[in-house]
Structure 1
Amino acid sequence: MRIPINATVNQAASTSGWCVGGPRSQHELDLHIHLTTLPLQGLSVNGDEFTWEANGISDGSFSASHTWEILRPQSTKKQWADLIWFKGAVPNHAFNMWIANADRLPTRTRLASWGLNISTSCPLCSCFQETRDHLLINCDYSKAVWQLLFERLDPAHRGLFSWTELLSWIRGPQTSPAVTLRRISVQAIIFHLWKQRNNVIHNQISLSTAVVFRLVDRDVRTIITAKRQRKNFASLMSSWLR
């Protein structure tokens, strides 16, 4: 073909046609015949331009967030998602709440179901099997901590009986500051109840419910103070301390 092996299409064509040598074999003749069927686009004197297109939408420039949204597996939004992942959530509190909501905490009954030869009794009360709902909701120890929260945020509430009821209570009144305060306080309680459970098992440290709630109170105050410039947190301290 008498064309450099690394030549571009632009070097093999001009405004008058293809710049290839005369055919010397049947293969070259066949190629020439084929090239005559290909219309040449007008050769531009300007440099080439490029755009980034993802899922049929051209952004003009590369967008990592847009590309990730297209590539990642997606499913319908879960009803509980906004109760766990929200602006201002503490990462370790939210992650622990997420694991608890999925009922994937390594409680004793769960560990026993994997074949571990361990006692399944609740480490906080020693009266019932340690399931998620018992440990975090129905245990007398946990009930006492929840009661301290209700006395501060919802005095008329008499207690919880299931995880579903807890999620329903978090939603409560549909005013943004109230929902935000319930979210952060519930996540703090779930975090500290699980931490206390581990302290009893691994460190033989047993704290009173009043001490655990003081730790929750400290965390909530710290969260509100750190995020007081945000709209949903501006009025939370007065609601928490009333």
Structure 2
Amino acid sequence: MDGQPKVTCCLCSALVETRDHLFITCNYSSEVWRLSIASLNPPNTLFCSWPELLSWIRRTSATVPALLKKFAAQCVIYHLWKQRNNVLHNQITQSPSAIYRLIDREMRNTITARRNRKQFQDLMAKWMH
């Protein structure tokens, strides 16, 4: 045992906060993922572990390039971490749908800012699909 106290997830207040729990299996996080990747050819069941998430990101298809999955995953993880810190330090909770709206806005802004680059030209249509 490492002697570190176990910290309860502040998003669900139910289970111990681990990387996989906080970013993937927490009910709150799962709902954010479900909303955020609905149009990106998500797996039949959402990820259960970090390796499953990485495997999904790397799988490219004709309809959803890996680049779009990478941006979406980075954005979701960033906003989950930001929400976790907001709850922990400021006691401010937002719904998963509110977090999704922030993710959607950031994805649109990121794609728009890079729209002149060849690899980004079709991403907006695929994100909004």
Tell me how far apart the structure 2 counterparts of residues 136 and 203 of structure 1 sit (CA, whole Å).
20
Deviation at 1:149, TM superposition (A): 2.3
Q: Percent identity?
A: 47
| Structure 1 pair 156–128 and aligned structure 2 pair: CA distance change class (3 A) | closer
Tell me how far apart the structure 2 counterparts of residues 156 and 134 of structure 1 sit (CA, whole Å).
18
1:221-232 to 2 correspondences below 5 Å: 221-232=108-119
Tell me how far apart the structure 2 counterparts of residues 133 and 162 of structure 1 sit (CA, whole Å).
6
Q: Which residue of 1 aligns with 2:80?
A: 193
Letter in 2 for 1:188: C
Letter in 2 for 1:218: R
CA shift digits 1:62-114 (9 cap, x unpaired): xxxxxxxxxxxxxxxxxxxxxxxxxxxxxxxxxxxxxxxxxxxxxxxx9x72x
Q: Which residue of 1 aligns with 2:13?
A: 126
Letter in 2 for 1:161: C
Q: Which residue of 1 aligns with 2:50?
A: 163
- The alignment status of 1:206 with 2:60, answered yes or no, reads no
Please tell me whether Structure 1 or Structure 2 has the larger radius of gyration of its CA atoms. Answer: 1
Q: Which runs of 4 or more aligned residues in structure 1 lie more than 4 Å from their structure 2 counterparts after TM superposition? A: none
Tell me the TM-score normalized by structure 2.
0.91
Task: State the structure with bigger RCO (CA 8 A, min sep 6), 1 or 2.
Answer: 2
In angstroms, what is the RMSD of aligned CA positions? 2.0
* Structure 1: tracts of 5 or more residues without a match: 1-109
State the number of aligned residues: 128
Deviation at 1:152, TM superposition (A): 1.6
* Structure 2: tracts of 5 or more residues without a match: none
Letter in 2 for 1:165: E
Tell me the TM-score normalized by structure 1.
0.50
